Amino acid sequence: MSIDQLVLGTMYFGTRVEQGTAHDLMDRFVDAGGRMVDTADAYSFWTSESGRGGQSEECVGEWLTSRPGMRARVELATKVGAEPDHPFDGEIRQTVGLGRDHVRSAVEASLRRLRTDVVDVYWAHVPDERTPVEEVARTFGEVVAEGSARRVGMSNFPVWQVERARAVAAAAGLQPVDALQLHTSYVSPRPGAAVPGKDNPYGWVGVDTLSYLDAHPGTELWVYSPLVQASYTRRAERPFPDAYDHPGTTARLAVLDAVADESGLDAGQVVLAWMLARGWRPIVGVSTAEQLESALVAARAELAPEQLERLDAPA
């Protein structure tokens, strides 16, 4: 089983997902064997009345303090850098970024909201063109060295910056990046095609990402939006974006549906099981117990080697 490799995404906990439901979902996740809970200091500024984030971290922190001993059973990941530097009013003119002073104050604020003294993974959420990646590497390495975080991750960064950050940290004797958080799925959009809501060209897993992972076997890949907003299981009402409309998608969906029929899983569950079999860590953002149970079924499933070979075959 791969439940301990599944990541629970908490983006809307404390906003769209009210606290009681969120706490119940986290209880269910941990009781089933899950460990990693992923959040961000920016979650979710676009749904809050204040236009500021922090609600998700607050919700997770309140859950931890209301359940003595729970912190020892879970790992926490949070992110910094993506929140607007102004109360959100429908437009992001500039983010807070990844400057050293901001990151050092932001990690302390995240720890207060999470009611903990250390996070297990601290992510640079998005690239910051104002801050050299060398500074980012040193700053995050210092956060680990001082005990506020155990590991460092980079989300939505180009691979060359990830490698530059790794090399700078290693040369300075600091904790290097050992986790990437990007978007991918079983089907992919046409190269160069615009995908709604995915305007960061570096936020996708590409062949260069896979090559980097092969060259750095200790580096984890965390996948956000792995199910493309439920398009696999709700194709009639929530079809894939137009960018996914090409022969490769048609061919891969045919294989996916065949494996789903054989295994007794739905198509989305097969996608999660396929990712876990590859050693990737899908982040599942759930708002109901039914959605969580579906993800847990996928994490418990074991696809046959022959099925994995068919799923991996070129379309």
Q: Is 212 a catalytic residue?
A: no
Whole-angstrom distance, CA of residue 33 vs CA of residue 60: 17
Enter the DSSP assignment of 13.
Answer: B
Q: What is the DSSP string of 24-69?
A: HHHHHHHHTT--EEE--TTTTGGGSTTS---HHHHHHHHHHHTSTT
> For residue 127, which of 56, 188, 201, 58 has the smallest C-alpha distance?
201
β 7-9/281-285 pair status: parallel
Contact predicate 185/237, CB 8 Å: no
Enter the DSSP assignment of 95.
Answer: B
Whole-angstrom distance, CA of residue 185 vs CA of residue 195: 13
Which of the following is catalytic: 43, 186, 202, 224? 43
Active-site annotation, residues: 43
